[in-house]
Amino acid sequence: MLKEKWWLPFLTVGVILVAIFALFYIAGPNRYNKGSTQKDGSSAVEHELTGQQLPEFEMVDQAGYQKKSTEFYNKPMLVVEWASWCPDCQKQLPEIQKVYEKYKGNIHFVMLDMLDSKRETKERADQYISEKDYTFPYYYDTDERAADILHVQSIPTIYLVDKNQKVKKVMTDFHDEAALEKQLEEI
């Protein structure tokens, strides 16, 4: 009887290998890819929206009113998907605030707080923005709907959109205020 089941350890190892392969396949090779670092210190990512029209999406403002991305189509846009619990977002938001103070008249800043009702809620976002004294406009991405439309893979994700609503670049990181300013000058 023992000789008849010699193949059982091989089957077990095979099943484990298939399971590991399936996990990597489902997660995808680019799922957590932060992109390649550019000369200016930004991390541009290969993104399916680069070079495409920015898809329309909806968000909610602090007063609870529904807003559409089309309301921002008269100027270039900096669209940022973020959350207050995200360490990389916490690092980059102060730099975005500085850039906002310089460019707020020329560029729409569409800061999308990714609400998931667990780690990120409206109350947590409002408290975080208040504690940090940020003045940039921010909106709630309720149930991550805009994130789905924008194909967000990680946060923060930063979209540089020209005045014709064409996505010029998608980044997950930038070195500092000067690097972000350089990117904005190019749109």
What's the pLDDT score for residue 44? 56
What's the pLDDT score for residue 23? 57
What's the pLDDT score for residue 43? 54
Highest mean pLDDT among 32-36, 50-54, 171-175: 50-54
Residue 142, domain member (yes or no): yes
Residue 168, domain member (yes or no): yes
CB proximity list for 25: less than 8 A, separation 6 or greater: none
**175, 40 Cβ separation under 8 angstroms:** yes
**89, 82 Cβ separation under 8 angstroms:** yes
Residue 20, domain member (yes or no): no
Residue 122, domain member (yes or no): yes
What's the pLDDT score for residue 175? 67
Domain that holds residue 44: 36-185
**Alpha-helical runs (H) found in the chain:** 8-27, 87-103, 122-132, 145-149, 177-185
Residue 114, domain member (yes or no): yes
Residue 30, domain member (yes or no): no
Q: Hey, which residues does 36 pair with through a beta bridge?
A: 44
Highest mean pLDDT among 31-40, 72-81, 177-186: 72-81
What is the total count of domains within the chain? 1
What's the pLDDT score for residue 117? 83
Q: What percent of the chain has pLDDT over 70?
A: 83
Evaluate if residue 155 carries a pLDDT over 70. yes
- Of the candidates 120, 50, 123, the one whose C-alpha atom is nearest the C-alpha of residue 81 is 120
Give residue-wise pLDDT tens across range 33-43.
333 334 444 45
Prediction pTM value: 0.74
Evaluate if residue 89 carries a pLDDT over 50. yes
The CATH number given to whatever domain includes residue 124 is: 3.40.30.10
Q: How many CA atoms lie within 13 Å of 11's alpha carbon, on the beta-carbon side?
A: 4
- Of the candidates 102, 116, 119, the one whose C-alpha atom is nearest the C-alpha of residue 177 is 102
Residue 27, domain member (yes or no): no
- Residue environment code for 27-53, b if the CB has 16+ CB neighbours within 10 A, otherwise e: eeeeeeeebeebebebbbbebebeeee
Q: How confident is the model at residue 145 (pLDDT cuts 50, 70, 90)?
A: very high
Evaluate if residue 64 carries a pLDDT over 50. yes
What's the pLDDT score for residue 111? 97
For residues 28 and 89, the model is more confident at 89
Q: Look at 7-11, 25-29, 60-64 and tell me which has the smallest mean pLDDT.
A: 25-29
Residue 17, domain member (yes or no): no
